């Protein structure tokens, strides 16, 4: 499925600000796997996702998706089959367009349908059904401009847009971190539901160690540009947050520090 091979990413190469953000990182993902990623600030988590999505090109190594070498493929091309969500709920949607216009655009882009002025009844019914599945009542507000919605509602819509046609890969970069705890929980539940129902291969960065263990089937811990732990199977199943923190201490000789970390 996804095969990341010995990738290295260096920022500001050969300057005093040189920073090795990823060092020789490899990762093999099976189809349908849901991997969570944790790690301290600056560990390289976002850089890893950015390299997979094509926002940054790697300095060394290569990336395959379904056997295709995408290492040098442009970001907009990868965006056709890689869905993405970021921390900022304002990033994924156009505020001056209505809910249904945003959704229709996402649908046309991913389904490679020709762009048409106006939305057909069939498309509108489909969009309504998808919105209903969120359970947020947004199907009754399809003509509302997205800019008027709350951060959580916007993030839920972005999630739907990213998964409108099942992406080969879904990349989530702390997509609930900017939401209040109750809304974050709701969006996380929706994420799990959509990923499960569509068997989407997913990589999710989270600052919340408990949800990292609770979501998906495998958890990676990153530190200083490397994957220092790969937890899965029985070992992961029996792990508590405290066990994870202890493992981090052993592996890195320091305390886990992430300014957004939640230990409960």
Ligand X SMILES: Nc1ncnc2c1ncn2[C@@H]1O[C@H](COP(=O)(O)OP(=O)(O)OP(=O)(O)O)[C@@H](O)[C@H]1O
206 close to 36: Cβ distance less than 8 angstroms: yes
From 1, 3, 11, 193, residue interacting with ligand X (rule: CB under 6 A): 11
Q: Contacts with ligand X in 46-75 (CB under 6 A)?
A: 46-47
Residues 6+ apart with CB under 8 A from 89: 151, 152, 154, 155, 158, 178, 179
Picking from 44, 42, 38, the residue whose alpha carbon sits closest to that of residue 8 is: 44
Q: Which whole-number Å values give the CA distances from 54 to 50, 77, 79, in the listed order?
A: 6, 9, 9
250 close to 197: Cβ distance less than 8 angstroms: no
**Residue 258 contact, options Mg ion, ligand X, none, Cβ 5-8 Å cut-off depending on partner type:** ligand X
Residue 96: how many other CB atoms lie within 10 Å: 9
258 binds ligand X per the rule CB under 6 A: yes
Comparing every residue's Cβ against Mg ion, the nearest one is 46
186 binds ligand X per the rule CB under 6 A: no
Total site size for Mg ion, rule CB under 5 A: 1
**Residue 21 contact, options Mg ion, ligand X, none, Cβ 5-8 Å cut-off depending on partner type:** ligand X
d(C-alpha 127, C-alpha 74), whole Å: 29
Tell the smallest beta-carbon distance from residue 100 to ligand X (Å): 33
**Residue 219 contact, options Mg ion, ligand X, none, Cβ 5-8 Å cut-off depending on partner type:** none
Tell the smallest beta-carbon distance from residue 19 to ligand X (Å): 5
From 2, 4, 7, 21, residue interacting with ligand X (rule: CB under 6 A): 21
Tell the smallest beta-carbon distance from residue 119 to ligand X (Å): 37
Identify each DSSP E strand in 82-167 by its residue range: 82-85
Q: Which is nearer to ligand X, 55 or 133 (CB)?
A: 55
46 binds Mg ion per the rule CB under 5 A: yes
Q: Which residues of 27-59 are buried (b: 16+ CB within 10 A; e: fewer)?
A: bebeeebbbbbbbbebbbbbbbbbbbbbebebe
d(C-alpha 228, C-alpha 239), whole Å: 16
Binding mask 29-48 for ligand X (x = CB under 6 A): ----------x-xxxxxxx-
49 close to 5: Cβ distance less than 8 angstroms: no
**Residue 32 contact, options ligand X, Mg ion, none, Cβ 5-8 Å cut-off depending on partner type:** none
**Residue 109 contact, options Mg ion, ligand X, none, Cβ 5-8 Å cut-off depending on partner type:** none
Task: By CB under 6 A, name the binding residues for ligand X.
Answer: 11-12, 19, 21, 39, 41-47, 258
Task: By CB under 5 A, name the binding residues for Mg ion.
Answer: 46
């Amino acid at each position: 499925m996804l095969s990341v091979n010995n990738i290295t990413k260096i920022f500001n190469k050969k300057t005093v600000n040189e920073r090795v953000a990823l060092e020789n990182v490899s990762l093999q993902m099976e189809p349908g796997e849901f991997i969570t990623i944790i790690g301290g600030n600056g560990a390289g988590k976002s850089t890893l996702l950015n390299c997979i999505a094509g926002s940054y090109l790697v300095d060394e190594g290569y990336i395959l998706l379904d056997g295709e070498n995408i290492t040098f493929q442009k970001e907009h091309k990868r965006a056709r089959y890689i869905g993405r969500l970021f921390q900022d709920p304002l990033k994924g949607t156009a505020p001056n367009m209505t809910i249904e216009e945003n959704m229709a655009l996402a649908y046309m882009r991913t389904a490679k349908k020709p762009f048409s002025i106006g939305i057909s009844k069939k498309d509108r019914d489909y969009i309504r059904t998808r919105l209903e599945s969120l359970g947020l009542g947004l199907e009754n507000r399809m003509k509302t401009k997205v800019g008027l919605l709350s951060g959580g509602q916007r993030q839920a819509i972005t999630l739907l847009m990213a998964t409108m046609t099942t992406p080969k890969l879904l990349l989530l970069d702390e997509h609930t971190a900017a939401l209040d705890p109750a809304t974050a929980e709701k969006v996380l539940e929706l994420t799990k539901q959509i990923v499960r129902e569509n068997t989407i291969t997913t990589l999710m960065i989270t600052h919340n160690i408990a949800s990292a263990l609770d979501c998906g089937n495998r958890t990676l811990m990153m530190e200083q540009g490397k994957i220092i732990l790969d937890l899965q199977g029985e070992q992961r199943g029996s792990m508590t947050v405290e066990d994870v923190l202890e493992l981090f201490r052993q592996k890195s000789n320091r305390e886990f520090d992430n300014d957004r970390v939640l230990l409960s």
